[in-house]
Structure 1
Amino acid sequence: MKPNSEKPDILPKKKYLISKGVDAFFLEINDVFKFIGLFFKEAFSAPFEWREIINQCYNVGYRSLSLISLTGFIIGIVFTKQSRPSLSTFGASSWLPSLVSIAIIRALAPLVTALIAAGKVGSNIGAELGSMKVTEQIDAMEVSATNPFKFLVVSRVIATTFMLPVLTLYSGLVGMLGSYINVHQNEQTSFAAFVKSAFSTISFLDINSSIFKAICYGFTIGVAGCYQGYFAQNGTQGVGRAANAAVVVSMFLIFVEEMIIVQFVNAIR
């Protein structure tokens, strides 16, 4: 029988491919941390691009209000409708406002707002910076003595970090409004009684944890979108990949951060 001399060559090749993939992964992680470090360095050094920061806050916040309003309102109504049969089975329909407020304030408002922002804002940032990169507009800014990182990246990350908590609070209020309309329609509960029952179980820890979540989510969305767009390559295909990667990466990191923060808050609680 002729010995098989190919197997010894295949195994080293597979090991090489695995090793190359692992090296590329850790090099990517290193680049991300360098990118974040450069952000903090530029964010706290003059000059500050206040006009561009305000413009990006307008793009992130005001232009997302309609979508956030509709989504938050629907979440409040749907979650109330879904919870009523279960509570009615145990004769605990009066607990419905408290249950809805806990679910919306603690989890749904920051998480849903972040996911919507990741899809709308994150993809927009990735595509915008990606198109500027592949058309060499960023290189032109460097030639014209303008700091493109401070103007493009720092302003967008600051805008997403500061505006997402505002959108989260707004989404929570709209969601509670949708829940009140459904509760009032079925149980004829007054607005004062609904508010008293809803916020009787909400503490400052719940509100502060939601705001902290929103800050982390906003920073993640801004960094992911800017990083993918700022280093986009290969023309229009690279712009599409940058926008897609910005959404996928930010959503994945949002869920990871949600799991970590919930464990931390529960330990404090």
Structure 2
Amino acid sequence: MAQTVLITGCSSGFGQLAVRTFSANGWNVMATMRAPEKDTDLRDLPGVALVRLDVTDTASIQAAVTETVQRFGSIDCLVNNAGYGGHALFEQFDDAAMRAMFETNVFGPVNTMRAVLPMMRKQGHGTIVNVSSMAGLLGLPGNAFYSASKFALNGLSEGMALECEAFGVRVHVVEPGAYPTTRFGANTDNALDVGDDQVAGYSRKLRAHIEALGEQMAQQGGDLADPQEVADAIYSCATSKDAPIHNPTGADARMLDSMIQSAPSRQAFLEQMRTMLLPQA
């Protein structure tokens, strides 16, 4: 009998690739997104069904979970992929933007895990894969709130991985580096001019520097990083009992993780990163 995965944030990027990967490997896939009626890419794939799910709306989560169980019989894997990004200095991020980011990146996975974990615990097996970010390994200047949300997701995943072992439920976190698909849309830069001239001027300068660095890191070895790597990492977590809790994915994320592990202290690591991440005067 085919296993079933429910994936959030499937309208594009890693989520869409994950749907294709699970489908190609014979899984039943409930591909969820806020507006499934707009999909033109996934609905005809083998074993794939679409349903509306907004991770900030608990009623839509419960409805999607119920429909998945009714259609496929159970949920063997949950992939929390939906994400919210934004670039701005701390002073430029207003309260609404901060809360929206945490609602999607932290409380969204909390909501979906609350909906499926009792079922997984009772059936004695299940896997949860939370898609985080390289930003969950390092507090990025100009992305402090985004990093904070991903640090929170990483810590939540790590703690849950340990506490869920007793119930036969595995929890993993995938931490992608820079990929072409990780652009969150033009609206993520809409606060860069907020504030006085000092704040806005530095914010623009920092953003340009980070953009250039990201382009460089996304092309490790001369080729644009392939986002299929992330879908493959998600699938590996779902299918391999030997998969680690933390899964930095992409040459840049693995390099960053290696730097963290090899540095004599966290402060020494941050000193290394300062010259890379901050624009020179």
TM-score (norm 1): 0.29
Larger Rg: 1
Higher relative contact order (CA 8 A, sep 6+): 1
Higher helix share: 1
